[in-house]
Structures are given as C-alpha cells and as structure tokens.
Structure 1
C-alpha cells in the first residue's frame, strides 16, 4: 500500500527529470518503480543485509562508493529515519549529486495519524514506528544549509496503519480535505544549486572630475587708466 502510494506521488515528477544516472538509495527505494523517469540509467545501492532484494552495488549509505558530482537524480525512501547519522547520509547524497540535480526524499511525518503507533508499547519496536521521525521542516532546514532549493513539499497517505476498519476510510478523506499537512508520508523534492562565489569590491574609489578654470567672459581692464580717471574726478 505504501509502495503504490509513493509511486503515484512520484509519477508526475519523473518526466521532469533528465540526465544519465538515477541512483536509488536503500532497499525500499530500489523497489519503487521508475519506468516513467527520463533518466537513461537507473541504479540501486544499499547494504546487502537490509533485504533479500539484490542491489546493483553494495554500499554503506554513510560512505557511498560513487564519484563526486556524478549522479543526476537521487531517490531516498525512508532512509533518514533508520540511520545513526542521518545528516551524514544527507551530505553523501549532496556529494554525489551534480549541480542542478534533483533529490527526492520520502519519509514519515510525525504530525500525522501514523505517529499514534509510537505511543503504543507493542508498536514501538516494530516497523515503521521503531525509527526516528523527523519533521519535514527540519529536513528542509538541512537542505537549505546544503544549498538546495525546495521545489515541492507534499503529504499523502492519511492512514495510521493500526486498523483496517471501513469507517477509517471516511476519516482519512476528511483529514485529506481539511488537514492536508497531516499526511503520514512526505515527499520533498529539492534541486541542488551551486552559487558561485564572486569577490566583492569594497571601498571603491570614485574618480574625481578634473576641474578646469573657466575662461573670463569680460574684457580686459587697464587699471592704471582707471586710477588716473578717479583722481581727476576727486580733484
């Protein structure tokens, strides 16, 4: 059910992504269909102990065996919730992603009906409640520090996963209509932007305009003759 909801949410985004390499991090990401994606080659990468599904490459998500700035798009599904150092994992994603590349982050929203399972002792040691749920705003703050532009922040799946009663479907429809931000799963689409650093000129000297003496507009005056004329007038 969660896999189908994720694929429906990602489907409108795949035609907007271009490039040569799409990397799916984690066993859950590898199971998400990306057939509608325009990227040429799709790879999956995770620890072989996570799932029976075989990846294209075995790797620790904290230290990816991928060249810097070699991936055009990256998909991460429920990885940050179950890693010991989620920010380091996010930094590794940023390292391998090219400038202008797209990062698709999917995780659990703590402000949702899904969080009710973390309040029940019998569910606290089970998936998905055994992980650490991060606020989407916190994830966006991390991405902002790494220099990303948020393209979209979506919520979906308003189910608590605790019961399958028919009357819960009507409650989910009401939550989706009245409180769209309390969806149990978030999808954050971010674009990597590298801002070039340019030197700022400080205290730039202004060029002073050279002033020239204005030419005299009057006629030349003979002051000796003027003094003689004044003496005669006085006498």
Structure 2
C-alpha cells in the first residue's frame, strides 16, 4: 500500500491520543464503549484499527480480534499490541455472516473508501449483528477549529481525516439496511491543547450534554443489521377449517363449527 494513502493517516491518530486533548477523548470513548459492548452477546467480535483504544475490553464474547493495516513496531505502554490480522480496511478477511459485533474507532474518517468499509462490515455481520462507530463531529467547536486550521496550517485534529457528519453516516447505514438504535455525543469542552485549560472547562461536559447535546466533539453510533423480508410465520389453519365445504363463506363456516 502506498505510504501516502489516507489510510496511513490513522496511524497518526495514535500519537495524537497521547496528547492532553487526545487523552481526554480516549477516556470518554473508552468509558462509553465499555458501557455499550458489555451487554452485546454472541461468539465473535472484531475491532478494526486503532489498537491504542481497547474497544472490546468490557465485552464477554469468547473470540475477540483486533485488526489493523500494519503491525506496530513497538508495543503500547511497553506491552505487545495484540494485532492478529493485518489487512486492507476495505477487504475484511472474514467469512460472510460470521461476526456478531464490529467496532470501527475512527476508521471511516481515515479510510480511502469509507463506503466500501461499511459494505464489508455489513457483509461479515450476522443478521441482527451490531456495529459501533466512533467519529469526530464536524458540527462542533472542534470541527470549526479544524476548518480554520486548514486555512492557517495550525491543525487541531489529525489533518488528513475527512470527518463525517452524523446525518450523513445515518444515510450510509440506512442504504445498507442497518438501523441506528443508540448514539452518544461527548467532549464538549472548547478546543484547548493544554491539560490545565481542559480541566478548567470540565463543567461544560454536563452543561453540553443537557443544553447542546448534538454539538459534542465526538460521537459514538450503534447500529443493527436488519434483513429485509424476514417475518415470523403465523399458525396454520385448523383441520376443521381446512375441511369446510367449498363455496361456503367464512362466516358461515364459523357458525357451523359452533
């Protein structure tokens, strides 16, 4: 793969998560992901990309995988990174309808073909399987700061990310027959770069969640794969009704049976 590919930019997101503002985002996402994944049951779960975030640590499925586009040279915090499969995000090396849960932490924003990534996720999920997507919200103070940074050259977030609005993401999921059933916004503090200023604006977390909930800097969306045309089959006709004389109206059959 070409090292100038947009997918390579997600590698830069790892070091950014170690900055004060990145740690703030990482802590919020870890808390929410733990809450969402703890009650999702099945056998096979997959996290695609960003091994700096353990999106499946609270999940109790017996088989969990972490995949990425490359093997990291060094472990995280002195430990070996448990990447088990290296692959292109647009081509998942799993059989169709084989996974119960897929987590995409900021993958779509840095993927060269985000639509293809979602199509692959839909393919490998079982019916009623679930996908959880993390992303930066362009309709936020951080999004405005990022746009200004592109004009001035002072980027606040990783510069190569194409951040996807929530309505746009919902449209993509709907086209794949994936129904959004839960979502969260978070990280309401202004785009500060120092830990001191981040702590000063901590009070805005509760205020933002109450007064401007859709303007959080980060969102997490949970969706379910629905299969069209699947319906429960109703009970068959009773034997007496099946043997009723031909040509007799249904109402008369009922009276005769009584």
The reply to whether TM is greater than 0.5 is yes
Shift of 1:55: 1.3
Which deviates further from its counterpart, 101-110 or 36-45?
36-45
- Is 1:44 the counterpart of 2:66? The answer is yes
Structure 1 12/83 Cα, relative in aligned 2: closer, same or farther at 3 Å? same
What CA RMSD, in Å, does the superposition of the two structures yield over aligned residues?
2.4
The residue that corresponds to 1:204 in the other structure is: none
- Is 1:156 the counterpart of 2:186? The answer is yes
For 1:96 and 1:129, the matched residues in 2 are separated by 31
Question: How many residues were matched structurally?
Answer: 199
What TM-score does the superposition give when structure 2 sets the normalisation length? 0.69
The residue that corresponds to 2:146 in the other structure is: 117
Output aligned runs, 1:1-235, within 5 Å: 1-28=24-51, 31-48=53-70, 52=74, 53=81, 55-115=83-143, 116-120=145-149, 121-124=152-155, 127-164=157-194, 165=197, 166-196=199-229
SS in 2 for 1:132: coil
Contact 1:106/1:186 (8 A) holds in 2:
yes
Shift of 1:173: 4.3
Which deviates further from its counterpart, 163-172 or 99-108?
163-172
Contact 1:48/1:54 (8 A) holds in 2:
no
For 2:190 and 2:95, the matched residues in 1 are separated by 40
Q: Which runs of 5+ in 2 are unaligned?
A: 1-23, 75-80, 232-246, 249-258
Q: Which runs of 5+ in 1 are unaligned?
A: 199-208, 211-235
For 1:107 and 1:56, the matched residues in 2 are separated by 24
Q: Deviations over 1:161-216 (max 9, x none)?
A: 43332543344543333101101111110000111279xxxxxxxxxx69xxxxxx
What TM-score does the superposition give when structure 1 sets the normalisation length? 0.76
Shift of 1:138: 0.6
SS in 1 for 2:163: coil
